[in-house]
A and B are shown apart, each in its own frame.
Chain A
Amino acid sequence: MHCYETIYDVIVVGAGHAGCEAALAAARIGCSTLLLTINLDAIALMSCNPAIGGLAKGHLVKEIDALGGEMAKNIDATGIQFRILNTRKGPAVRASRAQADKQLYRLRMKRIMEQQDNLFLKQGEVTGLYLEGNELRGVDTRSGIRFLGKTVVLTTGTFMRGLIHIGLTNYPGGRAGDLPSLGLSDQLRDLGFQVGRLKTGTPARLDGRTIDFSRLEAQYGDDPPVPFSFSTGRITMPQVPCHIAYTNQRSHDIIRSGLDRSPLYAGVIEGVGPRYCPSIEDKVVRFPDKERHQTFIEPEGLETVEVYPSGMSTSLPIDIQIPFYRSIEGLEHVEIMRPAYAIEYDYVDPIQLYASLETKPIPNLYHAGQINGTSGYEEAAAQGLMAGINAALRTKGLNPLVLGRSEAYIGVMIDDLITLGTKEPYRMFTSRAEYRLLLREDNADLRLREKGYSVGLVPEADFERFLRKRELIAAEYERICSSRIVMDSREHEFLSTHGLSDIQKGTTFEQLLRRPEVTYGELAEFDDVSRETVPEVREQVEIQVKYRGYIERQLEQVERARKLESTQLPADLNYSSIHGLTTEVREKLSRNRPETLGQASRIPGVTPAAISVLSIALKSDSWKRAGSETRLEEA
């Protein structure tokens, strides 16, 4: 093994959506960073659908942006259709989504990485970690080069022991067209990691020239397109539509006729697939009464005829795939350019991670993305960003950046992963966030900009713009709280036309705005100052006022939980010495080793009584005293 001369601060393994954010974050914080990938032409490749965002995922992208990550800027520069979802619902559950030009997306990310100081890109398949004893020193590659690093971030995606299934045919691969990563997961298992197997799938890519789009319903993006990033002025890419098509009974019959050769139903696939992203055969089998299933035909880019039929992933054999796709109205003559396939891969139980994403068995090793059992570009990128930040902070001897469940979807996701582990690919949903009204896309910068700035990721200019915005919001909120109705003629006119004759003189504008009949924009009818308010300030003020009751309720809940969340559990806590815990609870706590009482309380089976015993034991330090007289449970 040839040992390369440089010792890097951070080595990132994998250049998918997690790896890119990890490498950029570490390099931007000032660490010498090496990014190793099996294929330098596949950086930030969208292996599945050519889109970023959606419910909860859009939230993650905005948080990544607020912290100083790249994903939002990358999609803003390469997106070809932008839409805000749930516009008829409240602001907390509105989310951004965009179609990407898949090739432009990866090329721009590669360019950004190549231009980044401190960041070095190299092609190579990592076959194992290089350890001295239990001390992580670097990584070994298939080509015989050993790279030394102080910290390593593993972002292996679907590559570890990747196995591609098309019908009953299967072959090793990290993704269609790429080699798998072999050896690494075996070594991880030997090092004491719980390695499991997951499955995911992707639909065929179809030739757009062979689709009759005139028979499909077109779906256009928003006009004007609204960018993801707090730093992007406006979207300049040309915008194109998606198209909606439907399966029918004949499609379902075709699917059923091939089930005996489905690797899933024939028992060939052992990995667990995501329930929220089922293959078309899963949908047909599980919901036999549904007459049709919808698909969005998404463009893969401006310069290609390839299209992506969402929701139509399958692992059925190709002789079923062809008639199936052709059974869809408008797709009668469709040609498949790349077949659909399922892929199985190794992941590592995230329960073995700290909230910093550092692994518990091996110090200075970090895991991010699908290796942690998640699914989705956004989930991966968010973890990659956090792992990159924390690896970098480690090399500088600083405390890790950990986000709470009340601060960010990123915090919810990581806490879920490390507390509960995952048995199926984990995807973010807004319903996973108990403080959903606080964690909105629109206030991601207010929640996280400062943290991104303090670790050194948010550029000075962006941060100053943010500070100005925050001041303006506070000032405008203050103004409407102190401005009162004096009952001049314009106000009088306004109140009577809006059916608000019960409003008294002396009512503040804020109180007036709380009424459901009044929007901020309408204040301009009598309040000249509000007409000048910039949209981003207006939005925040309006949400703060309109949602006030619910926001306060959630803030109270956050406050109540704060004590639990901030109580640290010592890493060397000997749970078997704490008198009063049941065997079951002891086992769970010993295996999970939660970092805080709050995290402990979310482990299934850990009762409120156990939490109160723990908190008392912590106070009395009795676990230290009791160390020698381990008490046994009765049967």
Chain B
Amino acid sequence: MYIEDTIAAISTPHGEGGIGIVRISGGNAEAIGRRLFRFRKGGDFTSHYLHYGAVTEPESGGMIDEAMAVLMRAPNSYTREDVLELHCHGGMLVVERVLAAVLACGARLAEPGEFTRRAFVNGRIDLLQAEAVMDVIAAKTEASLALAQRQREGALSLKIGEIRQALTRSLAFVEAYIDFPEDDIGQTDNDALRVAADDVLVSIGRLLSGFDEGRILREGISVLIVGKPNAGKSSLLNCLLRENRAIVTPIPGTTRDVIEESINLGGLAVRLLDTAGIRHTDDVVEREGISCALDKIPLADLVLFVLDTSRFFDDEDRLILDAVRGKRTIAVLNKCDLPMAIELPPEITTLPQAVISAGAALGVDGLRELIRTTFLHDVPLDSREFVAISRARHRDALVSARSHLQRFLSGLEEGRELETLAIDLRDALSAVGQVTGEISTDDVLDMIFSSFCIGK
């Protein structure tokens, strides 16, 4: 729904950076700029011109930060609305104060991706581009950025194009038999139709199985570290974090007692779900007991089950083992540098395992690789061939195309009327078309006339 209010958001990534940008889009952007921005040398906004000055509090007029401001008047902006950007110093506190001031002037906090949505609604970009841009925004690592860019460049469109071509061809055959019974074009070749539909099903299946990986590349995975007290969870966490210190960005989690830490494992964005305060006081967490961590298990894509191999497998370990049953889990056998006392139950030995010593920083690379390959098993991350669908909307469209095709195949089997089979093919085609947003009217006829010699 297109609503002409004015929205604002911090458009640089959270965390410390050189600058922080607050972006404002909508009819009031310029007025808000006039109210908050003091030009160093006086003057007024010129579109697409970077002005130097300061951002001030709307009420008191006190300076928040010195800043640069640029106004991009409609339609020559990303959203095709008036867009104002305030470039401040990068501290989160400063940027958040600037945003608060903007909101105090009547702007509404933008929803995630709303700038791009406006760009799409205003015809600035098409649907696939819009979605790819949103993915770029959300991309946390190089691999997901590359995926998003390839999608924008049309790798997915190309694959979808191939599927559409195959479906159009099958439909053209069916339609030709329906519309040209007096032309000498032979009988319906059910085997050829079946083979073609099977091939398309395989292609769709491949795209769908790429969906999970696409999602993983786009959104990253969440990993929960569990283990009984003193198993070495915090050491492990610190180990993983220390290696990635440069890109750690703490983000407040959805619940008060969970903190997310994002790290990059060889191109895979990983959010380590951790109980509150674990970085500061191990004791607090230990006292809260294991149950708190166990509650988080359903939220995680992967559980790292930390076992202290220098101690016996006890009831607390058993409790955790029961809790992770059926969950994707890696058994992290910690303290391998100490004498081994543990006897692993069969349920553990069947899990993927990593033998490490968090304290001595041994085996952590192996664990990193294990986490990565658990999710990106067959996917060559650097290959240009890799095409993944990464959006639920695309997945739904392909799932729906698949079910129409399956109905087509069963209809073919039952010998159902051609015109109902044509409906299944047509529905499959239009479902696939929803991914790229194209609608074709004459494609089928084009295909008929180029494939058959028809005419009286």
Interface residues in chain A, defined as those with a beta carbon under 8 Å from any beta carbon in chain B = 49, 54-56, 85-86, 89-90, 92-93, 274-278, 283, 286-287, 290, 293-294, 296, 310-311, 416, 420, 429-432, 434, 436-437, 516, 547, 550, 553-554, 579-582, 585, 602, 604, 607-610, 612-613, 616, 631-634
Among A283, A431, A516, A616, max chain B CB count under 10 A is at A431
Tell me if A437 and B181 are in contact (CB < 8 A): no
A610-B123, A613-B122 known, 16 other contacts, Cβ within 8 Å: A55-B179, A55-B180, A90-B418, A93-B178, A275-B455, A287-B453, A293-B453, A296-B456, A420-B441, A431-B179, A431-B422, A434-B426, A437-B423, A550-B423, A613-B2, A634-B80
Tell me if B76 and A634 are in contact (CB < 8 A): yes
List 12 A-B residue pairs with CB atoms under 8 Å apart, sorted by A's residue number.
Answer: A54-B182, A85-B181, A275-B455, A277-B456, A294-B184, A429-B445, A431-B175, A579-B80, A581-B123, A604-B441, A609-B121, A632-B75
Tell me if A609 and B456 are in contact (CB < 8 A): no
Among B419, B420, B456, max chain A CB count under 10 A is at B456
A contacts with B: majority SS? loop
Contacts of B74 in A (CB 8 A): 579, 631
B449 near A: Cβ within 8 Å? yes
- Among candidates A287, A311, A416, residue contacting B456 with C-beta atoms closer than 8 Å: A311
When chains A and B are docked, how far (Å) is the Cα of A604 from the Cα of B414? Answer: 37
B45 near A: Cβ within 8 Å? no
B198 near A: Cβ within 8 Å? no
Contacts of A430 in B (CB 8 A): 175, 178-179, 419
When chains A and B are docked, how far (Å) is the Cα of A137 from the Cα of B342? Answer: 104
Among B74, B426, B455, max chain A CB count under 10 A is at B455
B contacts with A: majority SS? loop
Contacts of B423 in A (CB 8 A): 436-437, 550, 553-554
Contacts of A613 in B (CB 8 A): 2, 121-123
Q: Shortest CB–CB separation between residue A284 and chain B, in angstroms?
A: 9
Contacts of B420 in A (CB 8 A): 90, 437, 547, 550
Tell me if A429 and B179 are in contact (CB < 8 A): yes
Please give me the 7 A-B residue pairs with the lowest Cβ-Cβ distance, nearest first: A90-B417, A294-B184, A582-B123, A310-B456, A431-B175, A275-B449, A287-B453
Contacts of B453 in A (CB 8 A): 278, 283, 286-287, 290, 293
Which residue on chain B has the smallest CB distance to residue A632?
B75
Q: Shortest CB–CB separation between residue B107 and chain A, in angstroms?
A: 19
Among B178, B420, B439, max chain A CB count under 10 A is at B178
If A437-B423, A609-B120, A612-B121 touch, does A294 touch B183 (CB 8 Å cutoff)? yes
Contact pattern, B 414-456, Cβ under 8 Å of A = 1, otherwise 0: 1001111011001000000000010101001100110001111
Tell me if A431 and B444 are in contact (CB < 8 A): yes
When chains A and B are docked, how far (Å) is the Cα of A539 from the Cα of B445? Answer: 31
B246 near A: Cβ within 8 Å? no
Tell me if B181 and A634 are in contact (CB < 8 A): no
Interface residues in chain B, defined as those with a beta carbon under 8 Å from any beta carbon in chain A = 1-2, 74-76, 80, 120-123, 126-127, 175, 178-184, 414, 417-420, 422-423, 426, 437, 439, 441, 444-445, 448-449, 453-456
Tell me if B121 and A277 are in contact (CB < 8 A): no
Q: Shortest CB–CB separation between residue B448 and chain A, in angstroms?
A: 8
When chains A and B are docked, how far (Å) is the Cα of A356 from the Cα of B437? Answer: 31
Contacts of A554 in B (CB 8 A): 423
Q: Shortest CB–CB separation between residue B414 and chain A, in angstroms?
A: 8
Tell me if A612 and B2 are in contact (CB < 8 A): yes
Contacts of B122 in A (CB 8 A): 579-580, 613
Q: Shortest CB–CB separation between residue A595 and chain B, in angstroms?
A: 18
Which residue on chain B has the smallest CB distance to residue A434?
B426
Contacts of A608 in B (CB 8 A): 127, 437
Among B126, B175, B182, max chain A CB count under 10 A is at B182
Contacts of A609 in B (CB 8 A): 120-121, 123, 126-127
When chains A and B are docked, how far (Å) is the Cα of A89 from the Cα of B176? Answer: 13
If A290-B453, A580-B2, A607-B437 touch, does A437 touch B182 (CB 8 Å cutoff)? no
Which residue on chain B has the smallest CB distance to residue A51?
B456
Which residue on chain B has the smallest CB distance to residue A516?
B414
Contacts of B183 in A (CB 8 A): 294
When chains A and B are docked, how far (Å) is the Cα of A151 from the Cα of B402? Answer: 53
Contacts of A85 in B (CB 8 A): 181-182
When chains A and B are docked, how far (Å) is the Cα of A604 from the Cα of B439? Answer: 8
Which residue on chain B has the smallest CB distance to residue A294?
B184
Contacts of B76 in A (CB 8 A): 634
When chains A and B are docked, how far (Å) is the Cα of A632 from the Cα of B123? Answer: 13
If A429-B445, A580-B121, A632-B75 touch, does A86 touch B178 (CB 8 Å cutoff)? yes
When chains A and B are docked, how far (Å) is the Cα of A92 from the Cα of B80? Answer: 48
